[in-house]
Structure 1
Amino acid sequence: MNDASLTDVLTFKLSDDGKLLAAFEPCESKPPVDEAAIKMALAKQGLSSLFLYENSLSNLVQQYNSLNESFVLEIGERRDGVCSIHIADDKMTASLTLTPPYGGAPVGLLQIQLALQEKGVVSGIMKNEIEAALKEGYAKERVIAKGLPPVRGIDARFQSLIPEIRERKPRVDEHGIANYRDLGQLIVVRPGDPLMFRTPPTEGKKGRDITGQILMPEPGQDTPFASGLQGVEIDSNAELDPDHNTLLLAVIAGQPKLVPNGVIVEPTIDLPRVDLSTGNMNFDGTINIKGDIKDGMRICASGDVFVGGIVEAAEIEAGGNIVVKGGVIGHSEHSGDSNETPTFNARIISKGSISARFAENVCMEAGTDIIIEEFSMHNHLTALNRILVGKSGGKKGRIIGGITCASVLVKAAIIGSNAGFITKIKAGFNPYLQAQLDKLKLEIDVSEKELEDLKKIIAFVLAHPEKDKNGLLNKALHTREKVEADCTRLHTERAHLLSEMTLAENVQVIVEDSVHCGVEIQIGNSIWKNNEERGKGVFQIVDGAIDFGNIMLSVDRSQ
């Protein structure tokens, strides 16, 4: 069968109202037909783009084969392109479904715009997506409009301003040698140092749905600095302006520690011990050590230092008090000269008081008192107020060997020993004032020597006026005037220091049990060398000389 024979009995045409009609005219021998042949015939007539009804071709084939009389069957139609808009329930998206035309007109941009307008879509329209859909000619629930969701506000944020705490490692010198005791500085803050910024929460950003409705955001959570933060305060200037970050400042010196929503400043460092594992300690505050301080370590604190264990051959320096529960054991090197102070590798220096259970081969210097519970052996003790060894009424308080210096009072149960160690007790003068006096004396000697030389120059020029060249006499007279003023000032300072040093009449060395041979007592400028065993009593100045009297008649200054 060929196409020409099929078109003789079966023709197709498009009606005025766009309907696709199939007309059959019977003949004596009609050729057989199937759906494929019908489609080919439609294509040849340019009608293949029309919409075909469901089962229309199979119905046409059935009637064609079963009837032999004329009939006209509507099998399809011309259809224009169609678009539909779907709006999401939350009105945040609009989706386009675009059906292509069947022989009709395609959907245009204006048609989609009108559809959006009918749905009330006025915001977030995605023109590029619409153009892409029109170009493709087909779309199924393609999003062509999106609303702008609100942006939740940012919660309050906390930013630490404390330098990152790095691992403490041994310092290496320029020769590449590591000092395993020096592990670097601890993080320390001082009053007024900024510690943390708190950024207030934001309100967030408003949103808008596709219908143009404004959507309000959820504000960020406002979290203030934690309550009860110790050692810190909120900067009052930053608090006045809520649009600015809130600043947390240190009000005391100490070690900062980050806590939830804030920082605290601890004026005390707690350590189990001080050894190579911790390194030397240098802290602007108080250091509390539960255990021992090992040989060769160094502690420096602006506040107090508390040691629960023993201090070996180490150094401690404190701006406050030093308390050693377990005593101090050091080593010393002697030159052999009894008048020279030995070199100690254990040094305890405090601007406040020093207390220890015992001390051996230690150099101690206290701004107020030194209090030792049991014994002081071969130490160099210096206190600007009192040195008390042992408890009042007890017999454990021994001072054996070394030099013990105090401005007001030295008190012990026993001074010296049967072994004959030379034990020196000095009281009645300030050792630091003595150093200043020595320095002043050197300055006075230099100034007086210069003054004497100037007087000789002036006398010579007056005797030989012809030698006065370039104003030598005037220069010498002017210099003499200045040096004389310096001498007067230095002598005044020396007299003031000497008045402060005059303590001998008010000081005492109290012995509550006994004094052994080899003990040397110095009060002010007077010296007593003890050459026999003595019992309890008091050394003090009586009629300008040291007297050893009954302890019951003395004034007890230990309280």
Structure 2
Amino acid sequence: MNDASPTDGLTFKLSDDGKLLATFEASECKPLLDEATIKATLAKQGLSNLFLHENALSNLVKRYNSPGEGFVLEIGERRDGGCTLKIDDDKMTARLTLIPPYGGAPVALFQIQLALQEKGVVRGVMIKEIEAALKEGYATERIIAQGLRPVRGIDARFQSLIPQIRERKPQVNERGIANYRDLGQLIVVKPGDPLMCRTPPTEGKKGWDITGQALMPQPGQDVQFAPGLQGVELDTDAELDPDNNSLLLAAIAGQPKLVPNGVVVEPTIALSLVDISTGNMSFDGTINIKGDVKDGMKIHATGDVFVGGTVEAAEIEAGGNIVIKGGVIGHSEHSGDPNEVSTFNAIIISKGSISAHFAENACMEAGVDIIIEEFSMHNHLTALNRVLVGKSVGKKGRIIGGITSASDLVKTAIIGSSAGFVTKVRAGFNPYLQAEQDRLKLEIEALEKEQEDLKKIIAFVLAHPEKDKNGLLNKALHTREKIEMDCTRLHVDRTHLLSEMTLAEHVQVIVEEAVHAGAEIQIGNAVWKNNEERGKGVFQIVENEIVFGNIMLSVNESH
């Protein structure tokens, strides 16, 4: 045994089997002992690096300071270092935790390698990470083995061969100034022109886990050109591998339009104006109007609508973009109550973008952007992306009165007017998704009521078997099962829809000059009403509150 020098009749010894023993020989006179003195004595004797049992020192002090005979007390021991290895459930990662030694031997490399072998880890071992952990003498769930995840194959891809229609956006001149009226010229193709090529899917790359098990990738989805594409045909040239059906050509002359997984070619109609002499226009393609659209006329096109003049109190609906070189001048009927929805006779609806020089007393709805060069006065504007009022140079944009709504961004120079018109600007929600959400809710409620009725019928038949005629119970059970499946599907659809309706962090209302009293800003469910003149700034959401510049505004919740 290793002897230590006495401390007031108390000695410390490390036994051959690694136990730390405190021995006290009783004496008539002994000073009081404390833990600090014990620690100092252990350090002096080179025993401070041993493992001490819980409450060992306090128990020793208490025993020593109490009257009585001598004693021998085990207070600690020598311990070698250890290690634990954790394997993730997916067998893709091994994590090492090192337990430091207490006067004993540290963990060696071979111990870790043995632990890996016992766990079945044969691949992806990171020797340098293990050596670094051993050198540092410390590790907590350090990754020392890593598998390789399989790489999913790439889906079949479609590439437009007409660069001009890959993205239609405001054109920028040589001085960097964007012209929000000009979304690009119409592109016209002739028969035989290549429109789109298809690249077949790939198989993906294999992976493996740390036990050496191969992980097969999910192959890319094989998607063909969409069926029923109008005005196009597949290339039948054998030299281009006809089995792949990889090239789409124009079959007629007209305007190409990108659609999911394909291109359609639409013919275009040109008119000098639309009035009572032409009658209302409905056309499966694009309509190009050089002049005005007169009061009371209606236009419907599956493609774009271009108006070179002014749109009066008319209705235009397009499956593509609507470009109005002049303005929109309509009439609205309202009582003056700011909470009452106005009725408009100038209605412009586009699944793409809408651009106009100005707009007054009109209802506009766009599937992408609404871009107005000068001003929007007493309009109801709704865009699923952005509403931009005002050019980057020249006259400043202004939104006066009405309701302006966009999912991502509303940008203008001035909101409201010194006359105090109530001007509502909303951002951060999709009105179309909200309508779909409401519809799903009603369907779910109706099915749940039907479930309750079936539950009562089933309970009644089970209680009165004699009433089960013509297989009533089986029919009810089958119907209940179908309704439960329908309910589950609708709940999934509703959950997915709710995730799409989540307010994005980047939603903004940008004001480049001033916000007048009477303006009402809503982002998501937060609403702020302005009662004083304010300068330029950006409205956005921070922690579910509306912030204007660096100012947290007092808001109300809209339900």
Structure-1-length-normalised TM-score: 0.50
Q: Which has the larger radius of gyration?
A: 1
